[in-house]
């Protein structure tokens, strides 16, 4: 059974890519860490960016200069949910919430509550999405 879970959840390269000095190979991750790493990559990849997999990614970048109101946040939640549904088969999304950060202007916290299909374990994941660059710039 453990072999099945290991094969289903998988093993992947750690991003950003790191090399193991002892073996000379690429650092690999597995299990929950691999899933969270995959979600990081999914949300930071523009749809169409990958030539051999043009549907992979999310449309989050289209919201960079959008007004932040309830309608936009609800639409963003739908975009995040669909991106996970179509690109991350190892998890089932329970809920997605997007909230502006109280501590920093231009920052949204994308909170995803999901269940790993193979283990039925629930996890929370928070992705920081920046609406504007250089919002901490002091002139």
> Which 8-state DSSP code applies to residue 63?
G
| Domain boundary assignment for the chain | 2-130
List, for the chain, all residue ranges whose pLDDT scores fall below the cut of 70.
Answer: 1-9, 132-139
pLDDT of amino acid 98: 96
The 10 Å CB-count burial string (b at 16+, else e) for 72-84 is: ebeebbebbeebb
Note whether 37 and 44 are within 8 A (CB): no
What distance in Å separates the CA atoms of residue 115 and residue 95, rounded to the nearest whole number?
A: 10
Residue 104: the pLDDT is: 82
Read off the pTM: 0.81
Q: What is the pLDDT of residue 120?
A: 92
In whole angstroms, give the CA distance from residue 41 to residue 20.
21
Order of strands, edge to edge, in the sheet holding 91-100? 91-100, 107-116, 122-130
| pLDDT the model gives residue 110 | 97
State pLDDT tens for residues 59-81: 998 988 888 899 999 999 999 99
Q: Is 47 helix (H, G, I), strand (E, B) or coil?
A: coil
Domain range 2-130, CATH architecture? Roll (3.10)
């Amino acid at each position: 059974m453990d072999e099945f879970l290991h094969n289903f959840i998988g093993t992947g390269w750690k991003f950003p890519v790191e090399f193991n000095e002892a073996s000379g190979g690429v650092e690999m991750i597995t299990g929950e860490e691999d899933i969270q790493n995959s979600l990081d990559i999914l949300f930071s990849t523009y749809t169409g960016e990958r030539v051999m997999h043009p549907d992979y990614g999310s449309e989050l970048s289209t919201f960079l200069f959008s007004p932040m109101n309830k309608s936009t946040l609800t639409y963003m939640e739908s975009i995040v949910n669909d991106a996970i549904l179509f690109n991350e088969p190892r998890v089932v999304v329970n809920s997605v919430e997007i909230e502006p950060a109280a501590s920093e202007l231009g920052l949204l916290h994308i909170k995803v509550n999901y269940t790993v299909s193979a283990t039925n374990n629930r996890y929370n994941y928070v992705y920081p999405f920046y609406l504007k660059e250089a919002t901490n710039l002091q002139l």
